Structure 1
């Protein structure tokens, strides 16, 4: 069986190059994608020309404009970038059938047994980068026996680490010391270099069984560590991956946490890290391109009336029903806004979906206008098919409306307002314990229980709470006077006892008091309380109050 070979494909300028391709911009001009962070705009993705001008991701936009006045910017559209990465994942299946997404800007391929089809591993990497360049994309590749090793080689191998900026590992030292450290090589106290473009494919290939030697000269940031851990390791002089390989695992875990040891073992192959390809699924979506931008709510509803019947027809043809639908509004400035609606019962009736989406239309800010609408069923469920002959469409819709879906429509409307997870319903529980005799289920993902089972036990209190201690003599029979919640009570009548034993097959900490004798107690104040006497198993016996009758 051939050794497992993993290829990491990284697109360092995915967001910027997507917009350059779409808007046909000049690739030689500096271009950046900007994202909002509170009250400030920062650079999210940069074109190679912008990187050459000294700009960097995460830099404030005002500083970038001061450094490069000719910088052209666009707002970030994260969902569109994710969709573009999914498209690239399908494109990468020409090199391997086992492709998955790796973060927001990378792909991971299992190329075991595929490299000979392209003339070897180096030829495969060169082919991938050549095809990506033809698409107008910058791609960096790495190949190793492990997923972590391939990720490190794609982002950190084959570059000049001497060009490093002053960094955070020396921020606490004097100014002169920081100045000297900034000029030092990163292996002698300077800042570890950031990920830079690699050079030749051979520098990014770890031969079979040589992952240790290939990763040893790389900085510790190549292990996919968080910045805080990377800084702490640098301060201690552990700057290369090779410096960590020979360290005791127990000491590293105690000082830096188990995450460092896990990442190190994953990169070296001691801990398996499988590549999970995305399952191709059938998408149920339709879109409407508009000749002129729209911005009125009535215009959006008119477009929705054209999209909903198409989507419901697509679902009916495949025997599916929509549980969650999402309406995407693509604005003229290149951004996208979306709203979602969830049904309490899956369905394909446009009359049930339209009111839910109409309730959330105020959340969309059209800005300068909307030039395209897209409706997608993001979550669908199978519907049972019945062979009852031909039924006209109008009669099918009447049958759906008359099938007792009024409660489900009410739950869906309430869920659109407060969230579907906030609406619950009670179902009978399969337990004889009072607090477990009923269970709370989500109303959107459960059916009504119908009729509750006939009760053969004495009545239960209207209000039930956690047991509260009662000051009374430790005798099995109720006392004529007892104290509860800081007040003295006088016993008028008592009905009981009802003995309830704990579930011995569960280790329930609330029932460590052992068997309980429950009493319905009426006091001189008119209170009807539910008291019980705990006979004591792991704890001492005593009286407690757990509920109150109406």
Structure 2
């Protein structure tokens, strides 16, 4: 017997953030309530209660506009960490339906229910059981079942939804009254406008009602009427395709693959193949990580930075001791400040090298304590090692002088890592990079840029055949006679130069196995040219290939 095809269940909790707080504070779901997220200098609606949606509010709407529409709106700041923890609770609850459960985004779960649905009376019975559990818990849920993860995700979020337009004013019900009467005659939807809405009976007969379960091997037909966003495409790509008149999945599936990939990138083709099952996309369960965290409840609220640092001095040694006994080091640490108004703020820092030494971690957190807003007071502090790595103990061995040398080297390495961590706490760890040698004879490809916090200093740099300039940039055209040797003056960046001395040439050939647009001008002869004005430039003469020959400047020596 052939093995049964995979069946994937996707669960989406569209009101996760709002309903988490509604459950906690026992609010009325029919009351307008919204969770607000800060985006730059503006506050936007992130998650809404059923009452807020009934008032006409939408996620992503600015808070000032929402308050103008609904003055009775209650709001709370978003707590992404608490929402992630709540989603983890839902993931453990979903384990009663399948042993293979993974998270999908901030508000979704994915379950591999292959061979599990019959335990609940089939797939329909399984969805009814999930709807009942969520209704009893006061949660809104939308589900979709398909042969692929992408198909189930699309059905859970877009089943039964109409196809919109990338701009307003194109639908019949948005047109002026004078033009609305002529809309039926000119049939504007045939020229790219929005198609008119069908009656309910017609939709049922046409088979485009909301279908949460896709029959086996019929995913293409079920996904066809859905909007393009159901394929998990970027919003910019969806808008571009909509301007071209492609608004449904079926219209995109019929397009040739090569032009799609060239114009919109390979991500569009990848999403199509994932949705149809031509590219595997397994459900990835989340491994339960051991939390390394300590907390301290305060008898009276605090609000000064000195008080927060005093609490940190009591929490940090306890956390570092726990991590050290586990044979691990802290790579990223987070301090959470819970306020009396049931909101929370946090600061997070990373280390260039994992460590369990409180003296190395405390200065990094102290740099960001001023970023905390105490509000009406902080009544609890929680310190968590978000990311840890195994650390092997190092002990100098040998005679006394050798031990001192090794200890000095370790201290120098620690000082360098502390410097990287301090700078990274201000500008971000990803902004600090270092160079490593690369396997290429092309000057601009001779090095590769790597993050300093996740790489070791490079050793044994290969010596170049000729000196390389201190500053290197993309080749810039130079106005000079089209000859392999400089015979007179030249003009570069709007200035006239007169060569005083030339050293070279150093011939470099392109990598013939790669199609590099920068090297389509063929073989290059590099010259170190000293000008009468003192500049030392790195010029090369391109002998021509797919492009014409000529002189270019690519760098400058110190």
The TM-score normalised by the length of structure 2 is: 0.73
Is it true that 1:106 corresponds to 2:103 in the alignment?
no
Could you tell me which residue of structure 1 aligns to residue 382 of structure 2?
A: 374
Name the CA shift for 1:324/1:178 in 2 (closer, same or farther; >3 Å). farther
Contact 1:529 1:547 in 2 (8 A): yes
Could you tell me which residue of structure 2 aligns to residue 293 of structure 1?
A: 301
Is it true that 1:445 corresponds to 2:454 in the alignment?
yes
Is it true that 1:75 corresponds to 2:83 in the alignment?
no
Could you tell me which residue of structure 1 aligns to residue 284 of structure 2?
A: 276
Counterpart secondary structure, 1:412: helix
Residue among 315, 318, 324 paired with 1:310: 318
Could you tell me which residue of structure 1 aligns to residue 137 of structure 2?
A: 135
Q: Any idea what the Cα deviations from partners look like across 1:78-121, whole Å, max 9, x if unmatched? A: 33223311221122122112212233322221111112333433
Residue among 339, 345, 353 paired with 2:353: 345
Distance 2:547 2:64 in 1: 67
Distance 1:251 1:514 in 2: 34
Residue among 406, 410, 414 paired with 2:419: 410
Could you tell me which residue of structure 2 aligns to residue 420 of structure 1?
A: 429
Counterpart secondary structure, 1:250: coil
Distance 1:231 1:450 in 2: 47
C-alpha displacement of 1:355: 0.7
C-alpha displacement of 1:304: 1.7
Query: Which has the larger Rg?
Result: 1
Distance 1:346 1:406 in 2: 13
Contact 1:77 1:334 in 2 (8 A): no
C-alpha displacement of 1:298: 0.9
C-alpha displacement of 1:402: 3.1
Name the CA shift for 1:377/1:458 in 2 (closer, same or farther; >3 Å). same
Could you tell me which residue of structure 2 aligns to residue 483 of structure 1?
A: 490
Deviates more, 1:219-228 or 1:400-409: 219-228
Name the CA shift for 1:303/1:123 in 2 (closer, same or farther; >3 Å). same
Contact 1:343 1:412 in 2 (8 A): yes
Contact 1:221 1:230 in 2 (8 A): no
Name the CA shift for 1:494/1:20 in 2 (closer, same or farther; >3 Å). closer
Q: Any idea what the Cα deviations from partners look like across 1:239-273, whole Å, max 9, x if unmatched? A: 9x8xx75997128998x989999877766656655
Distance 1:472 1:246 in 2: 55
Name the CA shift for 1:119/1:409 in 2 (closer, same or farther; >3 Å). same
Is it true that 1:324 corresponds to 2:328 in the alignment?
no
Counterpart secondary structure, 1:300: helix
Distance 1:484 1:292 in 2: 73
C-alpha displacement of 1:341: 1.6
What stretches of structure 1 of length at least 5 have no aligned partner? Answer: 160-165, 193-201, 390-397
Distance 2:340 2:277 in 1: 48
Q: Any idea what the Cα deviations from partners look like across 1:469-493, whole Å, max 9, x if unmatched? A: 36257255x64x43343425253x5
Contact 1:96 1:110 in 2 (8 A): yes
What number of residue pairs does the alignment pair up?
516
Name the CA shift for 1:158/1:250 in 2 (closer, same or farther; >3 Å). closer
Is it true that 1:249 corresponds to 2:254 in the alignment?
yes
Distance 1:509 1:219 in 2: 37
Counterpart secondary structure, 2:347: strand
Distance 1:176 1:128 in 2: 49
C-alpha displacement of 1:51: 5.1
Deviates more, 1:6-15 or 1:169-178: 169-178
Could you tell me which residue of structure 1 aligns to residue 12 of structure 2?
A: 10
Distance 2:37 2:138 in 1: 22
Distance 2:53 2:18 in 1: 11
C-alpha displacement of 1:18: 0.8
Q: Any idea what the Cα deviations from partners look like across 1:354-387, whole Å, max 9, x if unmatched? A: 1111112222222222233232333333323569
Distance 2:441 2:311 in 1: 55
In the TM superposition, 1:377-392 aligns within 5 A as 377-385=385-393
Counterpart secondary structure, 2:360: helix
Distance 1:156 1:224 in 2: 11
